[in-house]
Structure 1
Amino acid sequence: MMTDQAARLREQLNMRHNQPKQAHTIAVTSGKGGVGKSNFSLNFSLALLKENHRVLLFDLDIGMGNIEILIGSSSQHTIVDFLEQQLSIADIITKGPSGLDYISGGTGLTNLFKLSESKFQHFASQLERVFHHYDYVIFDMGAGISEDALRFILSVDEIIAITTPEPTSLTDAYAAIKYICINNDSIPFSIVVNRSYDRKVGESTYQRLSLTIKQFLSRDIPLLGTIPDDPSIMKAVIHQTPFLLYQPNSQASKALINLTSDYLKSKSTSSSNIEQKAFITKLKSFFMKGR
């Protein structure tokens, strides 16, 4: 069954390979673990899918990947197999809930920029093929930002930073944003306040972080949305089902749907294609610098 799925996807990738359309790449980051980053990445991907967009969720939370835990499933191959066995990217894409395509993480990418040139070229060329098949490729990054992860993050079209109202979460979120902005002060950013007690707390949390960013980094980073501290989220995690599917009418699900709707309204399709085509070029440039 997995072989048949890979064969069908390989045919689709080949059909779309010569199309000019490119996927929009998003890195979901956080300054620390435990803020719900992977849960957001998963459910945001499903919300985009619900709006009839083709989405690939790429788990890059190396060694601590949670996507498969959150959906209660496992894939036949991971990114490690892809690198070590020179597989096609179609071989490592797995169907998840609601038909969501995802790639399972592993330990191999800890040395992504120290790969041999042939292995990296394989990785880059296969990834480029994917961009012709999907509208969005979402990278669920690991907590914190290593030097190698930074190079990858700086190659994407935009970044979504996840924080919570906790003071330590805010401090770590600011540190991560600062680190990225020091290396690229123009890369598009947005902020999501997760586990907010209510909308007012979420917005005041954002205001504190936003003012600090404005004062010390001279950046205006918009609020993408707030997600309440909803008991249904923990229940969904226990049942290993995305909360958007577990309780579609919960406060968290409604907030996520509204957030996604606002996000899509803000996108300018006319200007995005120019940015998207640069992803592989930037990634290759960072690889050459890291050799």
Structure 2
Amino acid sequence: MKNDQAESLRTQMQKRRHRQTRVLSVVSGKGGVGKSNVSLNVAISLAEAGAEVLLIDMDTGMANLDILLGYTPLLPFQEMFTENKSIFELIQSGPSGVQWIAGGSGLSGIFHMEEEHKLRFYEQLQLLEGEFDFIIFDMGAGLNENHMHLITTTERGILVTTPEPTALMDGYAMMKYIRSHKSDFPFAAVINRVDQKKDGRAAAQKLITVSEQFLGMQLTVLPMVPNDPKVSRAVMEQTPFVIAYPDSRAAQSMKQIAAGLWVKEQSAKTDGKPFRHFITGMKQRLFASART
């Protein structure tokens, strides 16, 4: 029995050493485009595909992952600082093995904390290396200086928008704003709530064109998500739609998006560089005020 336990521990440690933790941020130019629903259902789809996933709700004003999940938050995020809780004590298990951290007011001024709290946050983030294949930040909607600092430390931003002209314009403005702070920051786009494929393709092409022409960026477009009534039904039932309606058109799109991300992750030979770049960038952002 002891030999079996030791072998199991060695296997787990070996997996952790070789796991490439990738950090993504999901953003939108405005609220109401389904950003959190996309974040949650892609995260669950990744977990169902075999990935270890941590989803963190960074929307301090309108945090709603707990509502979409139908779960009660375990601990408020600020207890990492006020009660000296570890980040692992904040993590909750969700459906299909996805792990998540609820949003909270402790995140609202993350880059304006006292130095001891910044250090605590930085040290706790470091502990996540190798624990997960993906760490996904579900960011607040719209432009926010605090959010911008965090987004630009991640490996890539995933912009969620809809075919509506105002949503596309706001989405472009979000990418422009972030790229003005980090000129080489890469984006992928998800066109959500598509009634007709031609509308989704047209919206994607508009974003590709303006990204190339005005931002000098090659925008990656992920599979579009159809406007599916089962999504609204699942929200009312407080169950993620990939769980409640796995055969729905929207759920199939989530699985396609997740499959693309997971294949890229498994084929990458990065020796932990994405996470270390994230941690280095986070440290620079967190403690920039101390040097000025």
TM-score greater than 0.5 by the shorter chain: yes
- Residue 188 of structure 1: CA displacement? 2.2
Structure 1 distance, partners of 2:185, 2:203, is 22
Once the two structures are aligned, what percentage of the paired residues are identical?
35
Instruction: Check 1:187–1:272 CA distance in 2 against 1; reply closer, same or farther (3 A cut).
Output: farther
Taking the TM superposition and a 5 Å limit, the aligned residue runs for 1:188-267 are: 188-267=186-265
* CA distance 1:229–1:182, shift in 2 (3 Å): same
2:282 matched residue in structure 1? 283
CA apart distance, 1:255:
1.4
Are 1:160 and 1:190, in contact at CA under 8 Å, matched by a contact in 2? yes
Q: Separation in 2 of the partners of 1:131 and 1:156?
A: 14
In structure 2, the residue matched to 1:70 is 68
The match for 2:6 is none
**1:19 alignment partner, SS class:** helix
**Conservation of the 8 A alpha-carbon contact between 2:76 and 2:106:** no
CA distance in 2: counterparts of 1:157 and 1:16, whole angstroms? 24
SS in 2 for 1:144: coil
- Call closer, same or farther: CA 1:117–1:285 in 2, change over 3 Å: same
Compute the displacement of 1:248 (Å). 0.4
Is the 1:55–1:134 contact (alpha carbons within 8 Å) kept by the matching residues of 2? yes
Cα offset for 1:89?
1.0
What does 1:1-291 correspond to in 2, within 5 Å?
19=17, 21-267=19-265, 268-271=267-270, 273-291=272-290
The answer on whether the counterparts of 1:224 and 1:263 sit within 8 Å (CA) in structure 2 is no
In 1, Cα distance between equivalents of 2:83 and 2:13: 24
Secondary structure, counterpart of 1:63 in structure 2? coil
Q: What residue number does 1:5 align with? A: none
Q: Give 2:273's aligned amino acid.
A: I
DSSP-derived class of the 1:277 partner: helix
How many residues of Structure 1 are paired with residues of Structure 2 in the alignment? 280
* Contact 2:58–2:138 (CA under 8 A) maintained in structure 1: yes
User: Aligned letter for 1:202?
Assistant: G
Q: Give the counterpart letter for 1:181 in structure 2.
A: R
Q: How far 1:25 moved relative to its partner?
A: 0.2
CA contact (8 A) 1:25 1:156 kept: yes
What is the distance in 2 between the residues matched to 1:136 and 1:106? Answer: 21
Contact 2:186 2:217 in 1 (8 A): no
Residue 185 of structure 1 deviates from its aligned partner by 2.1
Matched residue of 1:73: which SS?
coil
Give secondary structure in 1 for the equivalent of 2:138: strand
Secondary structure of 1:126's aligned partner: helix
Distance (Å, rounded) in 1 between the aligned partners of 2:123 and 2:80: 12
8 A Cα contact 1:86 1:119, kept in partner: no
| 1:226–1:185 CA distance, 2 compared to 1 (3 A) | same
* Range moving further from structure 2, 174-183 or 198-207: 198-207
> Aligned pair in 2 of structure 1 residues 42, 201: CA closer, same or farther (>3 Å)?
same
Letter in 1 for 2:114: S
Conserved 8 A contact 1:22-1:277:
no
Q: CA RMSD in A?
A: 2.0
- Determine the C-alpha separation between the residues in 1 that align with 2:130 and 2:204: 35
Give deviations 1:70-96, integer Å, cap 9, x for gaps.
011112202122232221111111111
Runs (5+) with no aligned partner, structure 1: 1-10
